[in-house]
Amino acid sequence: MAIDCVSTMPHHPTPRDEEQKHLVFDASLLNYHPHIPKQFIWPDHEKPSVTAPQLHVPLIDLRGFLSGDPVAAMEASRLVGEACQHHGFFLVVNHGVDDMLVAHAHAYMDNFFELPLTDKQRAHRKLGEHCGYASSFTGRFSSKLPWKETLSFRYSADKNSSKTVQDYLLHKLGDEFKHFGKVYQDYCEAMSKLSLAIMELLAMSLGVRRSHFREFFEENESIMRLNYYPPCQKPDLALGTGPHCDPTSLTILHQDRVGGLQVFVDDEWRSISPNLEAFVVNIGDTFKVNTIFISNINPILHNVYSTVASVCFQALANGRYKSCLHRAVVNRHTTRKSLAFFLCPKGDKVVAPPTELVDANNPRVYPDFTWPMLLEFTQKHYRADMNTLEVFSNWVQHSHI
Protein backbone atom coordinates (compact mmCIF):
# COMPACT_ATOMS: atom_id res chain seq x y z
CA MET A 1 0.00 0.00 0.00
CA ALA A 2 1.35 3.41 -0.92
CA ILE A 3 2.08 5.70 1.97
CA ASP A 4 1.26 9.30 1.42
CA CYS A 5 2.09 10.91 4.72
CA VAL A 6 5.03 12.99 3.71
CA SER A 7 4.10 16.46 2.62
CA THR A 8 5.90 18.62 0.11
CA MET A 9 7.07 21.91 1.57
CA PRO A 10 8.82 24.81 -0.07
CA HIS A 11 12.20 25.60 1.49
CA HIS A 12 15.62 26.77 0.31
CA PRO A 13 16.49 24.28 -2.43
CA THR A 14 19.93 22.75 -2.84
CA PRO A 15 21.12 20.11 -5.33
CA ARG A 16 21.05 17.42 -2.65
CA ASP A 17 17.43 18.20 -1.96
CA GLU A 18 16.49 17.21 -5.48
CA GLU A 19 16.51 13.51 -4.72
CA GLN A 20 14.34 14.07 -1.68
CA LYS A 21 11.89 16.31 -3.54
CA HIS A 22 11.69 18.60 -0.51
CA LEU A 23 10.06 15.93 1.60
CA VAL A 24 9.14 16.96 5.07
CA PHE A 25 7.93 14.50 7.64
CA ASP A 26 4.57 15.74 8.87
CA ALA A 27 4.07 13.97 12.17
CA SER A 28 0.38 14.77 12.35
CA LEU A 29 -0.14 12.58 9.26
CA LEU A 30 2.29 9.77 10.06
CA ASN A 31 1.86 9.04 13.75
CA TYR A 32 -1.11 6.72 13.59
CA HIS A 33 -0.59 5.30 10.15
CA PRO A 34 -0.22 1.47 10.32
CA HIS A 35 2.70 1.52 7.86
CA ILE A 36 5.78 3.66 7.80
CA PRO A 37 7.67 4.95 4.75
CA LYS A 38 10.64 2.77 3.83
CA GLN A 39 13.12 5.59 4.54
CA PHE A 40 12.33 5.11 8.24
CA ILE A 41 13.02 1.37 8.31
CA TRP A 42 16.40 0.56 9.83
CA PRO A 43 18.44 -2.45 8.64
CA ASP A 44 17.99 -5.69 10.55
CA HIS A 45 21.24 -5.45 12.51
CA GLU A 46 20.20 -2.02 13.84
CA LYS A 47 16.51 -2.70 14.45
CA PRO A 48 15.61 -1.95 18.06
CA SER A 49 14.35 -4.14 20.83
CA VAL A 50 11.70 -1.83 22.17
CA THR A 51 11.89 -3.34 25.62
CA ALA A 52 15.45 -3.61 26.89
CA PRO A 53 16.52 -4.66 30.40
CA GLN A 54 17.04 -1.71 32.68
CA LEU A 55 20.53 -0.34 33.18
CA HIS A 56 21.21 0.71 36.75
CA VAL A 57 23.33 3.80 36.47
CA PRO A 58 24.65 5.52 39.58
CA LEU A 59 22.35 8.16 40.99
CA ILE A 60 24.70 10.86 42.20
CA ASP A 61 23.43 13.33 44.79
CA LEU A 62 25.14 16.67 44.16
CA ARG A 63 23.73 18.54 47.18
CA GLY A 64 26.78 18.19 49.45
CA PHE A 65 29.29 18.85 46.68
CA LEU A 66 27.42 21.96 45.48
CA SER A 67 27.27 23.35 49.00
CA GLY A 68 31.04 23.00 49.38
CA ASP A 69 31.35 19.82 51.46
CA PRO A 70 34.77 18.30 50.53
CA VAL A 71 33.86 14.77 51.67
CA ALA A 72 30.68 14.82 49.58
CA ALA A 73 32.74 16.12 46.63
CA MET A 74 35.20 13.20 46.94
CA GLU A 75 32.36 10.69 47.09
CA ALA A 76 30.55 12.23 44.11
CA SER A 77 33.75 12.28 42.06
CA ARG A 78 34.44 8.64 42.96
CA LEU A 79 31.00 7.65 41.64
CA VAL A 80 31.48 9.76 38.50
CA GLY A 81 34.84 8.09 37.87
CA GLU A 82 33.38 4.63 38.37
CA ALA A 83 30.54 5.31 35.92
CA CYS A 84 32.96 6.72 33.34
CA GLN A 85 35.11 3.66 33.62
CA HIS A 86 32.18 1.38 32.90
CA HIS A 87 29.97 3.15 30.34
CA GLY A 88 30.18 6.92 30.77
CA PHE A 89 26.55 7.40 31.88
CA PHE A 90 25.33 8.60 35.27
CA LEU A 91 22.35 10.42 36.80
CA VAL A 92 22.54 13.53 38.95
CA VAL A 93 19.93 14.64 41.49
CA ASN A 94 19.83 17.67 43.80
CA HIS A 95 21.61 19.39 40.96
CA GLY A 96 20.47 22.91 41.84
CA VAL A 97 18.39 23.41 38.68
CA ASP A 98 14.95 24.82 39.41
CA ASP A 99 12.22 22.16 38.86
CA MET A 100 9.90 24.82 37.47
CA LEU A 101 12.45 25.79 34.84
CA VAL A 102 12.65 22.17 33.70
CA ALA A 103 8.84 21.89 33.70
CA HIS A 104 8.55 25.08 31.63
CA ALA A 105 11.19 23.88 29.19
CA HIS A 106 9.06 20.76 28.58
CA ALA A 107 5.78 22.65 28.38
CA TYR A 108 7.14 25.15 25.84
CA MET A 109 8.40 22.26 23.77
CA ASP A 110 4.86 20.90 23.52
CA ASN A 111 3.65 24.31 22.38
CA PHE A 112 6.28 24.55 19.69
CA PHE A 113 6.05 21.05 18.23
CA GLU A 114 2.25 21.11 18.21
CA LEU A 115 2.31 24.12 15.87
CA PRO A 116 1.39 23.58 12.22
CA LEU A 117 4.36 22.48 10.14
CA THR A 118 4.48 25.77 8.22
CA ASP A 119 5.00 27.71 11.48
CA LYS A 120 7.80 25.41 12.65
CA GLN A 121 9.41 25.72 9.24
CA ARG A 122 10.03 29.41 9.96
CA ALA A 123 13.06 28.17 11.87
CA HIS A 124 13.94 25.68 9.11
CA ARG A 125 17.40 24.14 9.58
CA LYS A 126 19.38 24.59 6.39
CA LEU A 127 21.54 21.83 4.94
CA GLY A 128 25.01 21.80 6.50
CA GLU A 129 23.86 23.83 9.52
CA HIS A 130 23.25 22.49 12.98
CA CYS A 131 20.67 25.04 14.19
CA GLY A 132 16.99 25.32 13.49
CA TYR A 133 13.96 23.07 13.12
CA ALA A 134 14.43 19.72 11.37
CA SER A 135 11.84 17.10 10.67
CA SER A 136 13.49 13.67 10.44
CA PHE A 137 16.38 15.17 8.45
CA THR A 138 14.54 14.62 5.20
CA GLY A 139 16.64 16.47 2.68
CA ARG A 140 19.76 15.65 4.66
CA PHE A 141 19.57 11.85 4.63
CA SER A 142 17.72 9.48 2.36
CA SER A 143 17.62 6.33 4.52
CA LYS A 144 17.57 5.35 8.20
CA LEU A 145 15.63 8.51 8.94
CA PRO A 146 15.13 9.19 12.64
CA TRP A 147 11.52 9.27 13.83
CA LYS A 148 11.76 12.69 15.41
CA GLU A 149 11.53 16.43 15.04
CA THR A 150 14.19 18.62 16.57
CA LEU A 151 14.78 22.27 17.31
CA SER A 152 18.44 23.13 17.93
CA PHE A 153 20.19 26.37 18.82
CA ARG A 154 23.57 27.67 19.93
CA TYR A 155 24.38 28.82 23.43
CA SER A 156 27.42 30.88 24.24
CA ALA A 157 28.60 31.17 27.84
CA ASP A 158 30.82 34.09 26.87
CA LYS A 159 29.25 37.06 28.61
CA ASN A 160 30.42 39.33 25.78
CA SER A 161 28.72 37.28 23.10
CA SER A 162 25.97 39.16 21.32
CA LYS A 163 24.29 35.97 20.14
CA THR A 164 21.72 34.98 22.74
CA VAL A 165 19.32 32.07 22.59
CA GLN A 166 16.42 34.44 23.09
CA ASP A 167 17.42 36.68 20.16
CA TYR A 168 17.84 33.71 17.85
CA LEU A 169 14.42 32.23 18.65
CA LEU A 170 12.73 35.60 18.51
CA HIS A 171 14.34 36.42 15.20
CA LYS A 172 13.39 33.09 13.64
CA LEU A 173 9.91 32.64 15.10
CA GLY A 174 8.57 36.12 15.78
CA ASP A 175 7.80 38.44 18.70
CA GLU A 176 5.26 36.12 20.28
CA PHE A 177 8.20 33.76 21.06
CA LYS A 178 9.89 36.21 23.41
CA HIS A 179 9.00 34.27 26.54
CA PHE A 180 9.71 30.97 24.80
CA GLY A 181 13.21 32.32 24.04
CA LYS A 182 13.72 33.45 27.63
CA VAL A 183 12.85 30.00 29.01
CA TYR A 184 15.52 28.32 26.86
CA GLN A 185 18.04 31.10 27.53
CA ASP A 186 17.60 30.46 31.28
CA TYR A 187 17.66 26.70 30.75
CA CYS A 188 20.95 26.86 28.83
CA GLU A 189 22.51 29.07 31.50
CA ALA A 190 21.50 26.53 34.15
CA MET A 191 22.92 23.68 32.04
CA SER A 192 26.20 25.50 31.46
CA LYS A 193 26.55 26.10 35.20
CA LEU A 194 25.79 22.46 35.99
CA SER A 195 28.23 21.27 33.30
CA LEU A 196 31.05 23.28 34.86
CA ALA A 197 30.30 21.77 38.27
CA ILE A 198 30.37 18.27 36.73
CA MET A 199 33.67 19.18 35.05
CA GLU A 200 35.11 19.69 38.53
CA LEU A 201 34.01 16.21 39.52
CA LEU A 202 35.51 14.77 36.36
CA ALA A 203 38.80 16.57 37.01
CA MET A 204 38.88 15.20 40.55
CA SER A 205 38.10 11.71 39.35
CA LEU A 206 41.06 11.89 36.95
CA GLY A 207 43.38 13.24 39.62
CA VAL A 208 44.00 16.65 38.06
CA ARG A 209 43.55 20.18 39.33
CA ARG A 210 39.89 20.63 40.18
CA SER A 211 39.48 23.74 38.03
CA HIS A 212 41.29 22.29 35.01
CA PHE A 213 38.24 21.44 32.87
CA ARG A 214 36.10 24.17 34.37
CA GLU A 215 38.57 26.68 32.93
CA PHE A 216 38.69 24.89 29.59
CA PHE A 217 34.89 25.05 29.26
CA GLU A 218 34.26 28.37 31.04
CA GLU A 219 33.37 30.13 27.78
CA ASN A 220 31.74 27.11 26.19
CA GLU A 221 29.92 27.45 22.88
CA SER A 222 27.36 24.75 23.29
CA ILE A 223 24.34 23.32 21.50
CA MET A 224 20.86 22.94 22.92
CA ARG A 225 18.51 20.55 21.26
CA LEU A 226 14.82 19.82 21.83
CA ASN A 227 14.01 16.25 20.73
CA TYR A 228 10.37 15.46 19.99
CA TYR A 229 9.54 11.83 19.19
CA PRO A 230 5.96 11.32 17.96
CA PRO A 231 4.22 7.94 18.33
CA CYS A 232 5.13 5.39 15.68
CA GLN A 233 3.01 2.37 14.72
CA LYS A 234 6.10 0.33 13.83
CA PRO A 235 8.43 1.00 16.77
CA ASP A 236 10.29 -2.26 16.11
CA LEU A 237 11.37 -1.05 12.65
CA ALA A 238 12.22 2.59 13.35
CA LEU A 239 14.50 4.54 15.67
CA GLY A 240 14.04 7.99 17.23
CA THR A 241 17.78 8.61 17.33
CA GLY A 242 20.13 6.09 15.75
CA PRO A 243 23.09 4.48 17.57
CA HIS A 244 25.86 7.02 18.17
CA CYS A 245 28.39 8.41 20.60
CA ASP A 246 27.93 12.13 21.11
CA PRO A 247 30.72 13.92 19.25
CA THR A 248 30.46 16.79 21.77
CA SER A 249 32.14 16.98 25.20
CA LEU A 250 29.43 16.35 27.78
CA THR A 251 25.68 15.83 27.38
CA ILE A 252 23.10 16.71 30.02
CA LEU A 253 19.77 15.17 29.09
CA HIS A 254 16.37 15.50 30.67
CA GLN A 255 13.92 12.89 29.48
CA ASP A 256 10.20 13.08 30.24
CA ARG A 257 8.28 10.27 31.90
CA VAL A 258 7.91 8.19 28.72
CA GLY A 259 11.33 6.54 28.42
CA GLY A 260 13.21 5.42 25.32
CA LEU A 261 16.90 6.10 25.96
CA GLN A 262 19.02 2.97 25.57
CA VAL A 263 22.74 2.47 26.13
CA PHE A 264 24.90 -0.33 24.74
CA VAL A 265 26.66 -1.88 27.72
CA ASP A 266 28.35 -5.27 28.02
CA ASP A 267 27.24 -6.23 24.51
CA GLU A 268 23.55 -5.52 24.94
CA TRP A 269 21.11 -2.63 24.74
CA ARG A 270 19.86 -1.51 28.14
CA SER A 271 17.36 1.20 28.98
CA ILE A 272 17.76 4.14 31.31
CA SER A 273 14.41 4.58 33.04
CA PRO A 274 12.93 8.05 33.25
CA ASN A 275 13.42 9.99 36.47
CA LEU A 276 11.96 13.47 36.37
CA GLU A 277 14.16 14.68 39.22
CA ALA A 278 17.35 13.60 37.53
CA PHE A 279 19.50 14.61 34.60
CA VAL A 280 21.20 11.90 32.59
CA VAL A 281 24.83 12.85 32.02
CA ASN A 282 27.21 11.26 29.53
CA ILE A 283 30.63 11.89 28.15
CA GLY A 284 31.14 12.61 24.47
CA ASP A 285 34.05 12.02 22.10
CA THR A 286 35.56 15.49 22.46
CA PHE A 287 35.92 15.13 26.21
CA LYS A 288 37.38 11.68 25.78
CA VAL A 289 40.16 13.29 23.72
CA ASN A 290 40.70 15.95 26.38
CA THR A 291 41.36 13.30 28.97
CA ILE A 292 44.11 11.58 27.00
CA PHE A 293 46.78 14.09 27.86
CA ILE A 294 45.64 14.10 31.45
CA SER A 295 46.57 10.47 31.56
CA ASN A 296 49.92 11.31 30.03
CA ILE A 297 50.63 14.09 32.50
CA ASN A 298 50.82 12.00 35.57
CA PRO A 299 50.47 8.26 35.24
CA ILE A 300 51.95 7.75 38.71
CA LEU A 301 49.32 9.93 40.28
CA HIS A 302 46.75 8.00 38.29
CA ASN A 303 47.89 4.68 39.68
CA VAL A 304 47.89 6.04 43.20
CA TYR A 305 44.66 7.93 42.83
CA SER A 306 42.44 5.12 41.67
CA THR A 307 42.22 2.12 39.45
CA VAL A 308 39.48 3.97 37.57
CA ALA A 309 41.93 6.48 36.17
CA SER A 310 44.53 3.94 35.19
CA VAL A 311 42.01 1.72 33.42
CA CYS A 312 40.75 4.80 31.57
CA PHE A 313 44.33 5.68 30.80
CA GLN A 314 45.06 2.36 29.15
CA ALA A 315 41.87 2.33 27.15
CA LEU A 316 42.18 5.91 26.08
CA ALA A 317 45.87 5.82 25.31
CA ASN A 318 45.30 2.93 22.99
CA GLY A 319 42.35 4.60 21.41
CA ARG A 320 40.15 1.64 22.23
CA TYR A 321 37.73 3.43 24.51
CA LYS A 322 34.33 2.75 22.99
CA SER A 323 32.25 4.65 25.45
CA CYS A 324 28.64 5.64 25.60
CA LEU A 325 27.07 4.21 22.46
CA HIS A 326 23.39 5.07 22.80
CA ARG A 327 20.13 5.56 20.89
CA ALA A 328 16.48 6.46 21.46
CA VAL A 329 13.58 4.14 20.64
CA VAL A 330 10.00 5.21 19.93
CA ASN A 331 6.65 3.73 20.94
CA ARG A 332 3.10 3.26 19.58
CA HIS A 333 1.09 5.47 21.88
CA THR A 334 2.94 8.34 23.45
CA THR A 335 4.97 11.26 22.23
CA ARG A 336 8.31 11.38 23.99
CA LYS A 337 10.41 14.49 24.64
CA SER A 338 13.97 15.03 25.73
CA LEU A 339 16.03 18.16 26.30
CA ALA A 340 19.68 17.74 25.38
CA PHE A 341 22.38 20.24 26.29
CA PHE A 342 25.63 19.43 24.49
CA LEU A 343 28.59 21.10 26.15
CA CYS A 344 31.22 22.08 23.55
CA PRO A 345 34.51 23.95 23.90
CA LYS A 346 34.82 27.53 22.67
CA GLY A 347 35.67 27.48 18.97
CA ASP A 348 39.30 28.53 19.26
CA LYS A 349 40.27 25.92 21.89
CA VAL A 350 42.56 23.28 20.47
CA VAL A 351 41.69 19.81 21.67
CA ALA A 352 45.15 18.24 21.89
CA PRO A 353 47.74 16.91 24.28
CA PRO A 354 50.62 19.36 24.88
CA THR A 355 53.53 18.34 22.59
CA GLU A 356 56.07 18.10 25.42
CA LEU A 357 54.07 15.28 26.92
CA VAL A 358 54.04 13.16 23.79
CA ASP A 359 56.85 10.67 23.31
CA ALA A 360 57.45 7.14 22.08
CA ASN A 361 55.70 5.72 25.13
CA ASN A 362 52.85 8.19 24.94
CA PRO A 363 52.14 8.50 21.24
CA ARG A 364 49.48 10.79 19.87
CA VAL A 365 46.16 9.04 19.38
CA TYR A 366 44.18 11.82 17.70
CA PRO A 367 45.32 14.82 15.68
CA ASP A 368 44.89 18.40 16.92
CA PHE A 369 41.43 19.71 16.21
CA THR A 370 38.98 22.35 17.26
CA TRP A 371 35.33 21.64 17.99
CA PRO A 372 34.08 23.61 14.92
CA MET A 373 36.11 21.23 12.71
CA LEU A 374 34.43 18.16 14.19
CA LEU A 375 31.03 19.84 14.13
CA GLU A 376 31.40 20.69 10.45
CA PHE A 377 32.46 17.10 9.78
CA THR A 378 29.23 15.83 11.38
CA GLN A 379 27.09 18.29 9.46
CA LYS A 380 28.64 18.15 6.00
CA HIS A 381 30.52 14.90 5.64
CA TYR A 382 29.49 12.21 8.10
CA ARG A 383 26.40 11.32 10.09
CA ALA A 384 27.53 10.98 13.71
CA ASP A 385 27.50 7.33 14.80
CA MET A 386 29.67 5.04 16.92
CA ASN A 387 32.76 5.62 14.73
CA THR A 388 32.72 9.40 14.33
CA LEU A 389 35.96 10.14 16.14
CA GLU A 390 37.95 7.44 14.38
CA VAL A 391 36.67 8.43 10.93
CA PHE A 392 37.19 12.13 11.67
CA SER A 393 40.71 11.45 12.87
CA ASN A 394 41.60 9.63 9.63
CA TRP A 395 39.97 12.35 7.61
CA VAL A 396 42.03 15.07 9.29
CA GLN A 397 45.23 13.04 8.95
CA HIS A 398 44.63 12.61 5.25
CA SER A 399 44.63 16.41 5.13
CA HIS A 400 41.15 17.11 3.94
CA ILE A 401 41.30 20.45 5.68
x-or-dash string of contact with ligand LEWYHDQE, 347-386, rule CB under 6 A: ----------------------------x--x----xx--
In angstroms, rounded to a whole number, what is the distance separating the alpha carbons of residues 28 and 33?
10
Q: Which stretch binds ligand AKG (CB under 6 A): 59-67, 136-144, 253-261, 363-371?
A: 253-261
Listed ranges 192-200, 236-244, 256-264, 305-313: which one lies at the site for ligand LEWYHDQE (CB under 6 A): 236-244
Annotation marks residue 214 as catalytic: no
Interface residues for ligand AKG in 195-234 (CB under 6 A)? 225, 227
Q: Which residue number, 242 or 353, has a Cβ lying nearer to ligand LEWYHDQE? A: 242
Q: Which does 146 bind (CB under 5 to 8 A by kind): ligand LEWYHDQE, Fe ion, ligand AKG, none?
A: ligand LEWYHDQE
Q: Does 246 bind Fe ion (CB under 5 A)?
A: yes
Which partner in ligand LEWYHDQE, ligand AKG, Fe ion, none is near 255 (CB below 5 to 8 A by kind)? Answer: ligand AKG
Residue 126 binds to ligand LEWYHDQE (criterion: CB under 6 A): no
The least distance separating ligand LEWYHDQE from the CB of residue 147, rounded to whole angstroms, comes to: 10
Q: Which of residues 198-227 bind ligand LEWYHDQE (CB under 6 A)?
A: 223, 225
Q: Which is nearer to ligand AKG, 108 or 341 (CB)?
A: 341
- C-beta closer to Fe ion: residue 231 or 284: 284
User: Which of the choices ligand LEWYHDQE, Fe ion, ligand AKG, none does residue 384 contact, using the CB cut-off of 5 to 8 A by kind?
Assistant: ligand LEWYHDQE
Binding partner of residue 338 among Fe ion, ligand LEWYHDQE, ligand AKG, none, CB under 5 to 8 Å per kind? ligand AKG
270, 336, 364, 383: the catalytic one is: 336
CB of 206 to ligand LEWYHDQE, least distance (A): 23
Distances (CA, A) of 170 to 74, 192, 375: 43, 21, 25
Nearer to ligand AKG, 89 or 217 (CB): 89
Q: What is the 3-state secondary structure (H, E, C) of the chain?
A: CCCCCEEECCCCCCCCHHHHCCEEECHHHHCCCCCCCHHHCCCHHHCCCCCCCECCCCEEECHHHHCCCHHHHHHHHHHHHHHHHHCCEEEEECCCCCHHHHHHHHHHHHHHHCCCHHHHHHHECCCCCCCEEEECCECCECCCCCCCEEEEEEEECCCCCCCCHHHHHHHHHCHHHHHHHHHHHHHHHHHHHHHHHHHHHHHHHCCCCCCHHHHHHCCCEEEEEEEEECCCCCCCCCCCEEEECCCCCEEEEEECCCCCEEEEECCEEEECCCCCCCEEEEECHHHHHHHHHHHHHCHHHHHHHCHHHHHHHHHHHCCCCCCCCEEECCCCCCCEEEEEEEECCCCCCEECCCHHHCCCCCCCCCCCEEHHHHHHHHHHHCCCCCCHHHHHHHHHHCCCC
Residues that bind ligand LEWYHDQE (CB under 6 A): 130, 146, 223, 225, 241-242, 244, 246-248, 342, 375, 378, 383-384
Active-site residue list? 336
Residues that bind ligand AKG (CB under 6 A): 225, 227, 241, 246, 253, 255, 260-261, 326, 328, 338, 340
